[in-house]
Amino acid sequence: NAGVTQTPKFQVLKTGQSMTLQCAQDMNHNSMYWYRQDPGMGLRLIYYSASEGTTDKGEVPNGYNVSRLNKREFSLRLESAAPSQTSVYFCASSEDILAVYQETQYFGPGTRLLVL
């Protein structure tokens, strides 16, 4: 039981390049999330998916797109990377976002992205 896994662990991009961050969970959770964490700061929600087939914007969605491929997988895409997107990206999952205020989120190990 791996929990939440993320690939890659580390990536360097040049400005304007695109890439997709992958996330998968094996806990049969309905809800999944993407966050970014900048140095010395807390996590900010980029997008979330309440259930398979649905996605919604969080606090900082600009410059990103997401795909909930199936119940297990939730990917985050940067179409044209910018230096401001240099950050650590965390994926998380929880049982059911409908009761999010009582939810426990399980986080992956993160992807460190450097945009030059």
Partner 1 sequence: LAKTTQPISMDSYEGQEVNITCSHNNIATNDYITWYQQFPSQGPRFIIQGYKTKVTNEVASLFIPADRKSSTLSLPRVSLSDTAVYYCLVAGSARQLTFGSGTQLTVLP
Question: Which residues of this chain interact with partner 1, rule CB under 8 A?
Answer: 4, 31, 33, 35, 40-45, 48, 50, 56, 58-59, 90, 92, 97, 100-102, 104-110
Residues 6+ apart with CB under 8 A from 34: 21, 23, 45, 46, 47, 48, 58, 64, 66, 74, 76, 89, 90, 91
Q: Using the minimum distance from each CB to partner 1, give the nearer residue, 17 or 106.
A: 106
Min dist. Cβ of residue 15 to partner 1 (A): 26
Min dist. Cβ of residue 16 to partner 1 (A): 28
